[in-house]
Homo-oligomer: A and B are copies of this chain.
Amino acid sequence: MVRKPTSKETARKPNMREAILAAAEELFAINGFNAVSVRDIAQAAGANPGSVTYHFKTKDGLLLEIYQRHCGPMNLRRSELLAAAKRVRDLQDRLEAVVRAYVVPAFTSGSDLAGGGARFTRLRAVMSAEGNEVARKIIAQTFDDTSHAFIDAIHDSLPHIPRTDIVWRSHFLLGALYYSLVTPDRVSRLSRGEADGNDAASAIEQLVQATVAAFQAPALDQAAPVKRRPVVSSKT
């Protein structure tokens, strides 16, 4: 039989599916995966719980779809920005451009998705903290390449810093980035209202400025290799 996948195959009425995705993304990003029920999502999307099962089979499948929806555009955007940053001649400026290329897409929209950049990044932060299995797999196989590309680019701008130090510092960058999206109100509170933790532009500039300086810090290397500071091991 000859199939004619004109409008039938391409999801004739994607409204509800999209609504469920959006509602789930928002609820997961705010409350985490475990605290949100399928019924919560359905209600927020104005749908029936059974409809979620129909479109995404399982709750995990829903999370998976959210990731697959964003990972592509965000990494594409990062690649473009990184490529542009690498063309900056001055080393100091290039470092800042690279950091900016890493930070900006996390705060802003991935592409056509309205303002979803910060929301999805917050989602990733929360899933990371929850140790979500689905997220862990996707992250490792989707973002590690990007992370390596950025680490390499930063290393090119700072040849005298060991790669190990750059890994640590970029790890700190991601942690700071995540935390800024997870608990923005704390910034407002601790600054006694002088700063707005929810202002993405401020967050980006502050983060870029601080991170560039952190990357430029002298290397730790072998000086005082911290043989056995009485620190206590983290795991038994």
Answer yes or no: A157 CB below 8 A from chain B CBs: no
Answer yes or no: A165 CB below 8 A from chain B CBs: yes
Among B34, B167, B177, B180, point to the contact of A191 (Cβ < 8 A).
B167
- Among A52-60, A66-74, A107-115, which stretch is in contact with chain B? A107-115
A197 to chain B, nearest CB (A): 8
Q: A172 contacts B210, CB within 8 Å?
A: yes
Answer yes or no: A194 CB below 8 A from chain B CBs: yes
Q: B176 contacts A206, CB within 8 Å?
A: no
Known: A179-B174, A206-B220. A32 touches B34 (CB 8 A): yes
Answer yes or no: A64 CB below 8 A from chain B CBs: no
Known: A125-B129, A177-B175. A210 touches B217 (CB 8 A): yes
Q: A206 contacts B165, CB within 8 Å?
A: yes
A135 to chain B, nearest CB (A): 11
Q: B184 contacts A30, CB within 8 Å?
A: no
Q: B226 contacts A202, CB within 8 Å?
A: yes
- Complex: A182 Cα to B125 Cα, angstroms: 10
Q: B232 contacts A195, CB within 8 Å?
A: no
- Complex: A191 Cα to B197 Cα, angstroms: 31
Q: B179 contacts A144, CB within 8 Å?
A: no
A17 to chain B, nearest CB (A): 21
Q: Could you show 19 A-B contacts with beta carbons less than 8 Å apart?
A: A32-B32, A35-B131, A84-B232, A84-B233, A100-B231, A125-B129, A144-B189, A147-B190, A167-B187, A167-B190, A168-B202, A171-B197, A174-B179, A200-B234, A201-B226, A201-B229, A209-B220, A213-B216, A214-B217
